[in-house]
Amino acid sequence: MSDAIMSAPVPSGQAQAKVKRRPGGAMARFVAVRVAGLVATLFIASLVVFGALYAAPGSPLTYLTHGRTMSPEAVAEIKAEYHLDDSIWQQYLRWLGDVVHGDFGTSIIYNQPVSTLVGGRASVTTLLVLMAAAIVLVLGLAIGTMAGLRPGWFSRSAMAAATGVMAVPTFVGAVVLIVVFAVQLEWFPVFGAGGSGLDAVYHMVLPSLALALASVAFVARLAQTAVRAELSADHVQTAISRGLPRRTVVRRHVMRNAAMPVLTVAGLTVAGLIAGSVVVEQVFQLGGLGQFLVSSVQQKDFPVVQAICLVYVAAFIVLNTLIDIAYTLLDPRVSIGKKDS
Amino acid sequence: MSTTATAVRRTGARKAGRRATRGTSGIGTTGWVAIVLLGLVVCGALLAPLLSPQGPNAVDLSGAYQGSSGAHLLGTDASGRDLLSRLFHGSRTALIGPFLVVAVSTLLGTVLALAAVWFGGWFDQLVVRVVDAVFAFPGLLLAILATALFGSGLPAAVVALSVAYVPYIARIVRSAALRERNLPYIAALQVQGVHGLRIALGHILPNVGGLIVANATLAFGFALMDLAGLSFIGLGVQPPTSDWGAMVGTGMAGVLQQHPQEALFASALIVITVGAVNMLGDRLTERWEARS
C-alpha cells in the first residue's frame, strides 16, 4: 500500500528546466533508454524471484517434495523434471526461457500448469485494480481540485479527513466497510467475486472502495496542494489582476499547470494498488491472483508463488515506466536528455 | 588553522542547536497531541503485563463473545480471551516490528546515501541504480516472498521490509545531502584538511538530520500498516501470540456473527497509532521545510 505513496518522485528541480525545442532523436533515445531500463529491472526481478528458491534454508528439493520422504525413483524423477543436477545458471536460463514463452512450470499442489491456474484468476484482480484506479482518479482529483480552488471550511475539512483516511490500512478500511455496508445495512455481499458482467462489478464495489480509500486521500491532498500553489503563482495573480474571468484563469493557467505532476503521481499511485490488492482479495475472498498467492505461500507451492510475484512486479514496473515516458513526452517543460538522478 | 576549524565547527553547532530549540516549538499543537498519544501507546506496550487484567492467552470457551463487564472491560473474543489484555500485549508485537524495520532501513539508507554523495562518480551511480531496482519491487510483495521461503512469522517479514524501505530513505537523504555537499562551508572544511568521514558525519549528517527523523517517522507508519496487513492475512505474527493486525483477522469471524468488537478495537488502535505517527511526521517535515 505504501509503495505508491513512497514512490512520489523526489523533487529535483528538473521540472523547471525549460527547453523550447526538443529534437526527435533525443526523444527516441530517451524512450529507448527507459525501455532498456525496464528490461534490466525485469531481469533483476526475475533473478530475485528465481534466486529466492536457493536463498531459502534447505535445498530446493525439500520444497518440491514438500518435506515428504519419497522413494529414490520419485526423487530422481523430480530431479530430472526440474533439472536439479544442472548448475544454478543453467537452471535459471532454462526457467527464464520457459517464462518468456509463458510457461511457469507445474503447480506442486494442483499438479496443473501454473500459467493455466494463474491465467484463470487474473481477470478478478484486473477488474479490482481497474475499478479502484477509476475511483482514485475520479474522486481523488475531484475532491482535491475543489478543495484547492475554494479555500475555507470545505478545503480544511476535506484535507483533515484525507489525513485521517491515510492512516487507515487497506484491510481496516475493508473490515469497516464490511461491518457497515454488508453486515449492518446488507447493501452489498460480504464475500465472493460474483458471476460475470454487472454482477461482478456489484461484488467488486466494496473491495475496490477499500483498495482505493487511502490513495483517494493521498491524491486529493496532492491535487489540493498543486492547485493552491498554482493559484498563488505570479502569472495567475497577473491574469486575475488583469481582470480575466476566473473560469478562464482556472482552466487555462491553474489546471493546465497543475495537471501533469499530479497526474503522474496519481498514475504511480494506481500502479501501487497492484500490491495492495493482495490484502483486499484476502478480506473479501475474491479468488483472484492475490488470494491464490497467499494460499500458495501457506502451502509452499513455490512455482505458483514465483509466477504471481513475477506477474505483479512486471505489471508494476511496466506501468511505472509507461507513466514516466508519458509524463516526459507530454509535458514540454520537462527537458529530456538530462539525467534525472 | 586548526583553531579556525574548531571555531567554524563551534558556531555551526551552536547555530544548529538554536535552530533545534526553535524547531521543537514549531511542531505545533497537533504535533504535541501526536506525541502524547504515541507516548500512551508506548507506555501501554511497555507496561502490558502490569496493565492487563488477565493473561492474553487465558482461554475460557464458555465465555466467548462476552460484552463489556467488570471482569472483561472490553469483552472477550471467540475463545473467551480478554480483549483488553490481548490489545495491551498485541501493541508489543505491533510496535516492535515497525521499529526494527525503521531502525535498520534508516541506518542502511543514510549510510548508503552519505557514501554515495561523498564519493560521487561511479559509486554514486551504482547506488542510484541499485536503489531504483529495489524500489521497483513493492515492499509488501517482497515480504510475502520472504515468508514463503523462511516460513510465516514476524522475523522474515521484518527483514524483507527493512530491505524494501532502504530506497525510500536513501533517495530522500541523498538528494538533501547532495545539496548540502555543494555548499561553500563543505569546500572550506575540505580546504582545511578535515577528514571526509568527519565532514560527512559531523557536518552533513546533523544538517540533514531533521529530514531523516521526519521520514523515519512517516516510514514507521507505513511499516506498521504493512506488517499489520501481513499478520492480518496470516503471514505475519502467528497465533496464539496477540497482535493488532492478527486480531483484526481473527475478528473477521466475529464480524459475521454480529460481534465486531475484536476487529473494531484492534482496527481503532492501528488507525490511532498510524494517524498520530503521520501527524507527527507531517509536522516534522513542515519544520524541516521551513528551516531550509
**pLDDT tier at B52, thresholds 50, 70, 90:** confident
Flag whether the ipTM exceeds 0.90. Answer: no
What does the pLDDT read at residue A28?
84
| Cis peptide upstream of residue A113 (ω within 30 degrees of 0) | no
- Count the domains in chain B: 1
Q: What is the pLDDT of residues B236-246, one digit of tens each?
A: 888 888 889 88
Neighboring chain B residues of A175 at a CB cutoff of 8 Å: 248, 251-252, 255, 260, 263-264, 267
Q: Are A154 and A162 in contact (CB under 8 A)?
A: no
pLDDT above 90: percentage of residues in chain B: 24
**pLDDT tier at A58, thresholds 50, 70, 90:** low
HSE (CB half, 13 Å, CA atoms) of A170? 33
Q: How far is B137 from chain A (nearest CA, A)?
A: 6
Q: Report the residue from A6, A172, A316 with minimal CB separation from B222.
A: A6
Q: Report the residue from B140, B225, B256 with minimal CB separation from A278.
A: B140
Cβ contact (<8 Å) for B137 and A171? no
DSSP β-bridge partners for residue A106: A113
Q: How far apart are the first and last CA of chain A?
A: 25
Is the pLDDT score of B10 beyond 50? no
What does the pLDDT read at residue A203?
86
**Lowest mean pLDDT across A212-226, B98-112, B138-152:** B138-152
Cβ contact (<8 Å) for B229 and A48? no
Q: How far apart are CA B256 and CA A183, in angstroms?
A: 7
Cβ contact (<8 Å) for B233 and A56? no
Is the pLDDT score of B21 beyond 50? no
Amino acid identity, residue B292?
A: S
Cell of B135: 524500489
Name every residue whose Cβ is closer than 8 Å to that of residue A30 and which is 6 or more positions away in sequence: A325, A328, A336, A337
Neighboring chain B residues of A172 at a CB cutoff of 8 Å: 248, 267, 270-271
Neighboring chain B residues of A225 at a CB cutoff of 8 Å: none
Q: Are A129 and A292 in contact (CB under 8 A)?
A: no
Cβ contact (<8 Å) for B282 and A163? yes
Q: How far is A248 from chain B (nearest CA, A)?
A: 33
Q: How far is A282 from chain B (nearest CA, A)?
A: 7
What does the pLDDT read at residue B136?
75
Is the pLDDT score of B148 beyond 60? yes
Residue B282 contacts A, CB cutoff 8 Å: yes
Higher pLDDT, A287 or B7: A287
What does the pLDDT read at residue A23?
66
Is the pLDDT score of B231 beyond 80? yes
B58 within some domain:
no
Higher pLDDT, A303 or B224: B224
What does the pLDDT read at residue B224?
93
Mean of per-residue pLDDT scores for chain A: 81
Mean pLDDT for B219-224 is: 93
Name every residue whose Cβ is closer than 8 Å to that of residue B176 and which is 6 or more positions away in sequence: B208, B211
B2 within some domain:
no
Q: How far is A171 from chain B (nearest CA, A)?
A: 7
Nearest CA in chain A to B127: A341
Higher pLDDT, A57 or A7: A57
**pLDDT tier at B292, thresholds 50, 70, 90:** low
Cβ contact (<8 Å) for A2 and B232? no
Mean pLDDT for B53-68 is: 75
Q: Report the residue from B150, B233, B271 with minimal CB separation from A57.
A: B150
Domain ranges for chain A, please list them: 1-108+330-341, 117-299
Residue B90 contacts A, CB cutoff 8 Å: no
Highest mean pLDDT among A229-243, A324-338, B21-35: A229-243
**Lowest mean pLDDT across A188-202, A243-257, B183-197, B256-270:** A188-202
Interface test with B, best of A3, A184, A282 (most B CBs within 10 A): A3
Mean pLDDT for B239-257 is: 84
Amino acid identity, residue B48?
A: A
What does the pLDDT read at residue B193?
85
**pLDDT tier at B106, thresholds 50, 70, 90:** very high
What does the pLDDT read at residue B104?
95
Mean pLDDT for A171-187 is: 87
pLDDT above 90: percentage of residues in chain A: 13
pLDDT above 70: percentage of residues in chain B: 91
B207 within some domain:
yes
CATH 1.10.3720.10 for the A117-299 domain, yes or no: yes
Higher pLDDT, A269 or B72: A269
Q: What is the pLDDT of residues A102-154, one digit of tens each?
A: 888 888 888 888 888 888 888 899 999 999 999 999 999 999 988 888 888 88
Cβ contact (<8 Å) for A57 and B245? no
Amino acid identity, residue B247?
A: M
Q: How far is B71 from chain A (nearest CA, A)?
A: 26
**Lowest mean pLDDT across A188-202, B11-25, B276-290:** B11-25
Cβ contact (<8 Å) for A294 and B279? no
- In this structure, what CATH number is given to the domain that contains residue B175? 1.10.3720.10
Q: Are A170 and A129 in contact (CB under 8 A)?
A: no
Cβ contact (<8 Å) for B138 and A45? no
Mean pLDDT for B188-198 is: 86
Neighboring chain A residues of B135 at a CB cutoff of 8 Å: 7
Which domain, by its residues, includes B163?
Answer: 90-292
Q: How far apart are the first and last CA of chain B?
A: 29
What does the pLDDT read at residue A335?
65
Residue B61 contacts A, CB cutoff 8 Å: no
Cell of B207: 544538517
Q: Report the residue from A56, A190, A313 with minimal CB separation from B136.
A: A313
Cell of A49: 524471484
B34 within some domain:
no
Q: Report the residue from A172, A183, A309 with minimal CB separation from B145.
A: A309
Cβ contact (<8 Å) for B138 and A312? yes
Higher pLDDT, A88 or A336: A88
B249 within some domain:
yes
Burial of A15 by CB count in 10 Å (0-12 exposed, 13-18 middle, 19+ buried)?
middle
Cell 455481499 -> residue: A189
Interface test with B, best of A168, A170, A172, A274 (most B CBs within 10 A): A172
Q: What is the pLDDT of residues A280-323, one digit of tens each?
A: 998 888 888 999 999 888 888 888 888 999 899 888 888 888 88
Mean of per-residue pLDDT scores for chain B: 83
- Chain-centre distance for alpha carbon B286: 18
**pLDDT tier at B103, thresholds 50, 70, 90:** very high
Q: Which residues of A75-91 are buried (b: 16+ CB within 10 A; e: fewer)?
A: eeebeeebeeeeeeeeb
Is the pLDDT score of B34 beyond 80? yes
Mean pLDDT for B65-81 is: 75
Q: How far apart are CA A189 and CA A206, in angstroms?
A: 8
For the entire predicted model, the pTM comes to 0.82
